[in-house]
A and B are shown apart, each in its own frame.
Chain A
Amino acid sequence: MSEVTLKDIRKSFDGLEIIKGVNLEIETGEFVVFVGPSGCGKSTLLRLISGLEDIGSGSITIAGRDVTRVPPSQRGVSMVFQSYALFPHMSVAQNMSFGLRLAKVPKKEIERKVAEAAEVLQITHLLDRKPKQLSGGQRQRVAIGRSIIRNPNVFLFDEPLSNLDAALRVQMRVEISRLHQEIKTTMIYVTHDQVEAMTLADKIVVLNEGRIEQVGTPMELYRRPANRFVAEFIGTPKMNLFDTELVVPQGGSALVSFGSALIPVDDRVAHLQPGASLSLGLRPENLELGSAADPTTAEARIELVEKLGGESMLHAHFPGSKDLFVVNVAGEAAVRPGETVHIKPDPDACYLFDGNGRAIGQS
């Protein structure tokens, strides 16, 4: 059974439609990540699920109960905010037990639940401290603890790691993932960081301009993006896209141009006319340096070399073009900016998109 069901959700602010008809089903125990660029509506969607915003139209069901008009506290959700939202005048224990105290839960039970949650999050030694005396990571643990203690049906996370530094973010990511495996509660997590989305999610929901672009597992989105937007959004560095057109030589198989080279494409373009405009997508890791003698390589000029230690990012462009694309090569690249090289694409890993940006099969 679905834990959360969103049916044709719409929301407008001051006449401007922010959420434009979202339909989504989230299974019990699933870790779902809403990802998308700033302003795509992912946080708004989370706030609609939490009840902090009223929906314009549509319906929300949580644990089989229609909660569309139900106040936030009765939806069986808990929320972790980017800012941690800890009450500065309360101790860690008081912050964690806030909801239970309001609900007049017996003191002994509150103490037991606080101790249990603190144990899980390894913050037992911090229970008497005030938020000001905690580090960013500790504060976020307390905020998560406050959520756990209520035993909600659904955890909502609104960019919880954005305020942390890079190292702490990685550590907390691992801890959130571990927590999900331990408590197995449905989690909905909002982030603009696609690395967070890829590493945490059972299912990713890619949002753009208030609409769902694609829903799938991280690898489904990576390997079979439904459109140009998803293709570009998922993967670091992002997928290179080249404007190209379909070439079908007399009696030969279909080809698309890649700079000065031609790449064979399979039957998926059989329905298209020769000369059709397409976008060719190639991930940086599916390009490599080749030799001039190889006819499947295209000449390019290196603009910038980023050496990251284990790999190098080569930023290059084709002669006569200023559009840069990225090539990911293993180790330390032996090329310099200004040098002319030959780039060899992997024809089995190329993506094709039609004029509307929709994916055309996959080779």
Chain B
Amino acid sequence: MSAPLFRAVTMARRLDTGIMERQNTIWRILLLAIPLAVFSIFIVWPLLNSFYYSFTNWNGFNAEYDFVGLKNFSKVLTTRLFTNAAINTLIWMVAAIVLPSLAGLGLALLLDSKIRGANVFKSIFYLPICLSAIVVGQIWVWIFQPDWGLLNMAISAISGEPFTYAWLAKPGSAIYAVIVAWSWQQTGLSMVIFLAGLTGIPQDLTEVAEIEGATRWQRTWHVVLPLLRPATVVVIALSVINSLKGFDILYIMTGGGPFNSSDTLAMYMYNESFKKYRMGYGSAISVILFLITLTIIFIYFRQLKKVDEIYD
């Protein structure tokens, strides 16, 4: 190839590459713009609005409102109802992390061993997560129904005496009854994540532990559980975030009652904003909830980084 021709071909190639790169960039921006627009409209904009209204006394209807500064926040943080909701959220969160995580881990360990019909059981245990929280809530409302609910009927049948405890109507048991329903639904999700984690553990590691003299329990404790740490971090993070968002199942089963005994921060925020028409006050609660969630996500990412540092 002669030198001028070579230069021309090289230039044409560069030109081609330049055009293609520009086209690629336009496509990338276009394709990213769609989810970004959706995210902005439905997440970022309401979030910014919440921040804005948390400094106002807006009632949710009128066009007029006043700026009240940090008054909503100081009120929220000093009211007994907020403390009650915060304690309930903590109970709800801890239970919602511990119960489904432990049950999911147990099921995953059980179903990962070569037992007959494991796939059928996996599907059955995963099924509740496919149902909406409203449906799950309604099922458990029926189960907890004092007169003809499955639970009381079972207790009556076993004890031989009529048992009509109103699980959802008593302040001492309402939130725990909802936690049971929530755990029943969330266990399938934890199980699936732990099963995926177990699949990623090389068989060589458990085999070498076996040769080194580890019993089945020791293999689980010293090898399997530590290697499930990445899955555990995901399960816990999801449980925390889901539990903080937990609203619909509470709304269906107790509505935060009786006597605010099952009120969580999300429930409290809803009641203040939409039932009592105190949108500014409700927004302040939502901002506090947002900051708590953000802190947990921050901790989650730090844990994730630590996990990455250990594992390949």
- The answer to whether A binds B is yes
In the complex, which residues of chain B have a beta carbon less than 8 angstroms from the beta carbon of A98?
Answer: 209, 212, 214, 222
Distance (whole angstroms) from the CB of A286 to the closest CB of chain B:
42
Main secondary structure of the interface of A (DSSP, over half): loop
In the complex, A238 has a CB within 8 A of chain B: no
Task: Indicate whether B161 reaches chain A with its CB closer than 8 angstroms.
Answer: no
Determine if B211 and A102 form an interchain contact, defined as CB atoms under 8 angstroms apart.
Answer: no
Contact B229 A89 (CB under 8 A): yes
A132 lies within 8 A of B312 (CB) = yes
Asked if A85 contacts B310 (CB within 8 A), the reply is no
What residues of chain A lie closer than 8 Å to B310, measured between beta carbons?
A: 88-89, 130, 132
* Interface pair A81/B204, CB less than 8 Å apart: yes
**Inter-subunit contact B211/A50 (CB<8 Å):** yes
Q: Which of A71, A85, A132 contacts B205 (CB under 8 A)?
A: A85
Enumerate chain A residues within 8 angstroms of B208, measured Cβ to Cβ: 79, 81, 85, 146
B213 touches A99 (CB 8 A): yes
Interface residues of B in 226-260 (CB under 8 A from A): 226-227, 229
Knowing A52-B211, A73-B210, A99-B212, the reply to whether A132 touches B311 (Cβ < 8 A) is: yes
Q: How far is the CA of A72 from the CA of B204 in the complex (A)?
A: 14
CA separation between A50 and B218, bound complex, in Å?
19
Minimum Cβ distance to chain A for residue B113 (Å): 16
Interface string of B189-211 (1 = CB under 8 A from A): 00000000000001011011111
Shortest B305–chain A CB gap in Å is 14
A102's nearest neighbour on chain B, judged by CB, is B213
Residue B223 lies at the interface, judged by CB distance under 8 Å to chain A: yes
Partner of A87 from the list B205, B211, B218 (CB cut-off 8 Å) is B205
Contact of A83 among B204, B214, B223 (CB under 8 A): B204
Q: B223: which A residues are within 8 A, CB to CB?
A: 87
B219: min CB distance to chain A, Å: 10
Tell me the residues in window 270-312 of chain B with beta carbons closer than 8 Å to chain A beta carbons.
Answer: 309-312
Find chain B residues with CB under 8 A from A71 CB: 210
- Cross-chain contact B212 with A89 (CB below 8 angstroms): no
In angstroms, how far is the closest chain B Cβ from the Cβ of A86? 8
Question: With A102-B218, A132-B312 in contact, do A73 and B211 touch (Cβ < 8 Å)?
Answer: yes
Most chain A CB within 10 A, of B204, B209, B211, B227, is at B211
> Which residues from chain B contact A279 at a C-beta distance below 8 Å?
none
Decide: A52 near B227, CB < 8 A? Known: A83-B202, A132-B310, A132-B311. Answer: no
Asked if residues B211 and A103 are in contact (CB atoms below 8 Å), the reply is no
Residue of B205, B210, B213 most packed against chain A (CB within 10 A): B213
Contact, CB under 8 Å: B204 / A89: no
Contact with B along A32-71 (1 / 0, CB 8 A): 0000000000000000001110000000000000000001
A51 to B202, CA, bound (A): 18
B226 A85 Cβ-Cβ under 8 A: no
CA distance A146 to B210 in the complex (A): 13
Residues B207 and A73 in contact, CB atoms below 8 Å apart: no
Answer whether A102 and B212 are a contact pair too, CB < 8 Å, given A85-B202, A88-B227, A132-B311.
yes
Closest to B311 in A: A88
A71 to chain B, nearest CB (A): 8
Q: With an 8 A cutoff between CB atoms, is A77 at the interface? A: yes
A73 CB to closest chain B CB, in angstroms? 4
Q: Per-residue CB proximity of A88-108 to B under 8 Å, as 1/0?
A: 110000000011001100000
Given contacts A81-B204, A85-B207, contact A73 B213 (CB under 8 A): yes
Instruction: State the CA gap A71–B218 with chains docked (Å).
Output: 15
In the complex, which residue of chain A has the Cβ closest to the Cβ of B209? A98
Q: Which residues of A contact B212 (CB under 8 A)?
A: 73, 78, 98-99, 102, 146, 150
Q: Which of A88, A103, A150 has the most CB of B within 10 A?
A: A88
Contact partners of A50 in chain B: CB under 8 A: 211
On whether the beta carbons of B207 and A52 are closer than 8 Å, the reply is yes
The complex places the Cα of A108 from the Cα of B227 at a distance, in Å, of 28
C-alpha gap A83/B205 in the complex (Å) = 9
B75 → chain A, closest Cβ, in Å? 48
B311 to chain A, nearest CB (A): 5
> In the assembled complex, how far is the CB of residue A187 from the closest CB belonging to chain B, in whole angstroms?
15
Bound CA–CA A338/B204 (angstroms): 51
